[in-house]
Amino acid sequence: MPVPGQPLRKLGFLTIGRFDEADPGPGHEETLATIERAEVLGFDTVWVRQRHLQPGISSPVAMLAAATQRTSRIELGTAVIPLGLENPLRLAEDLATVDILSGGRLNPGVSVGVPMHYDNYKAALYPDTHDVEDFSKKRAERLLAYLRGEPVSDFEGTIGIEQFHRRVQPHSPGLAGRVWYGGGLYSAIWAAGQRLNYLTSNVVSTEHIGEAAGPADFATIQAEQIDAFRAHHPDPATARVSQGLVVIPTDSATAEQIDRYRRYAEARLPRTSQTHGPRGMMFAPDLVGTSDELAEALYAHPGFQRVDEVAFALPFTFGPDDYVQIVTDLAEKLGPKLGWTPAGTR
C-alpha cells in the first residue's frame, strides 16, 4: 500500500497498439519496439489491450508471442481478452504456448460478458449458436480448468505413431496462477474466490452490495472494490492487484506536447462527472503534470494507496514520439518519485 517512503513494487504500462488500417505493419512494429524499450528502461510489466474490428491489437496473444522473442525478463500481459469472442480450449493452448516461449512471463488478463456491439457481427462469430452462447463466468472457469491441466478429452493413448493426452498441450505449470480478471465489485469478489489476480483500470462500475447508493467519486469506488477483493481472497498476502489510470508525465515534454496533453485530458474530463450505461460506469480523470505533481496526486488517491503495482494506460491517440517521451518519463522520473527501482538494479 504505497505511501511516501514505501516503495512501489512493480511499474508497468498498457498500450492499445494503434496502427494505420491501410498499412498496419509499422504500427505493429512500433508496439513491439515499445515493449523492447520498456524492458531496457527496467519496467516490470507491459500490457496490451485487445480491440476487435478496430485499428488496434486484435490478437494480443500473437503480439506477445512475437514479444517473447525480443525480450528476456519483462512480464507480458493482456488487459483484457474478452472471452465472449474466444473458445476457452483453443485460447488455453495459445496462452500456454506463449507462456512456454516466454519462460513463464505471461500474465493473461480476461473478462466475460456479452461482447461489445455483439449484434453487429454475431452471425459471423457464431453462425449457428449466437443466440445460445454462454457468456457468463463459466467461460472463465473453463479456461482456468484447462490451464490448470484438467482433462478436456476422454481419450489418452497412442494411435499409430501419434500420442494423445487428456489435457491441453503444452501444459505450462503456474500459468493459471498468473491469470488476471477485470471488473466491478461483484467481479472482484468472484475473482478472489477463484484465486485470480485483480486488474483495475480508469473505469469502474458503481454497483454496490447492500447499499442503495454508493460513494460518488471514482477513487473511493475503486478502493472499495480492491478492499472487497482482498477481503474475499483466501490468501490476500499473495493476491496481486494492479491499478491502471491514465497518467501522463510532462517532465521532458516539449511545450507543444504539454499543451496537447492538457487539451486531451480536458476534452475527456466532462465524461468523469456522470455515470454511463446500465451498470453506471464511471471514468477517472486523466492525470497530467510533472512527476512531482503526479506523485502527490497518486499518494492521495485511495485506489493507489491499496496497490503495490501499477500499469498506467497510454492515451489512445498520441504519436510515436509522444509515447517514447511518456514511457521514458514514467521510468526515469515518476517511478523514482514513487519509490520504484528499475528491474536489474535492485
For 189-219, the pLDDT digits (tens) are 999 999 999 999 998 887 664 444 555 689 9
Please report the pLDDT score of residue 74 as a whole number: 98
Count structural domains, the chain.
Answer: 1
In a domain, residue 3? The reply is no
Please report the pLDDT score of residue 209 as a whole number: 46
Please report the pLDDT score of residue 101 as a whole number: 98
Q: 31, 25, 27: which is closest to 46 by C-alpha?
A: 31
Reported as type and span, the H/E element at residue 322 is helix 320-329
Please report the pLDDT score of residue 28 as a whole number: 97
Please report the pLDDT score of residue 4 as a whole number: 65
Q: Is 87 helix (H, G, I), strand (E, B) or coil?
A: coil
For 138-172, the pLDDT digits (tens) are 999 999 999 999 999 999 999 999 999 999 999 99
In a domain, residue 171? The reply is yes
In a domain, residue 265? The reply is yes
Question: Which residue matches cell numbers 511516501?
Answer: 4
Cell of 22: 491501410
Q: 294, 300, 287, 284: which is closest to 340 by C-alpha?
A: 294
Cell of 288: 497530467
Structural domain that includes position 219: 10-337
pLDDT per residue as tens, the chain (346 positions): 455 657 899 999 999 999 999 999 999 999 999 999 999 999 999 999 999 999 999 999 999 999 999 999 999 999 999 999 999 999 999 999 999 999 999 999 999 999 999 999 999 999 999 999 999 999 999 999 999 999 999 999 999 999 999 999 999 999 999 999 988 889 999 999 999 999 999 988 876 644 445 556 899 999 999 999 999 999 988 889 999 999 999 999 999 999 999 999 999 999 988 888 777 788 999 999 999 999 999 999 999 999 999 999 999 899 999 999 999 999 999 999 999 999 988 7
Q: Are 148 and 95 in contact (CB under 8 A)?
A: no
Please report the pLDDT score of residue 277 as a whole number: 79
* Burial class for 155, CB neighbours closer than 10 Å (0-12, 13-18, 19+): exposed
What global pTM score does this model have?
0.94
In a domain, residue 2? The reply is no
Cβ of 344: how many Cβ atoms within 10 Å? 10
R_g of the chain computed on alpha carbons: 20
In a domain, residue 98? The reply is yes
In a domain, residue 343? The reply is no
In a domain, residue 49? The reply is yes
Q: How far apart are the first and last CA of the chain?
A: 19
In a domain, residue 175? The reply is yes
Q: Are 311 and 14 in contact (CB under 8 A)?
A: yes
Q: What is the CATH number of the domain that holds 154?
A: 3.20.20.30
Three-class HEC string of 173-241: CCHHHHCEEECCHHHHHHHHHCCCEEECCCEEECCCCCCCCCCCCHHHHHHHHHHHHHHHCCCCCCCCE
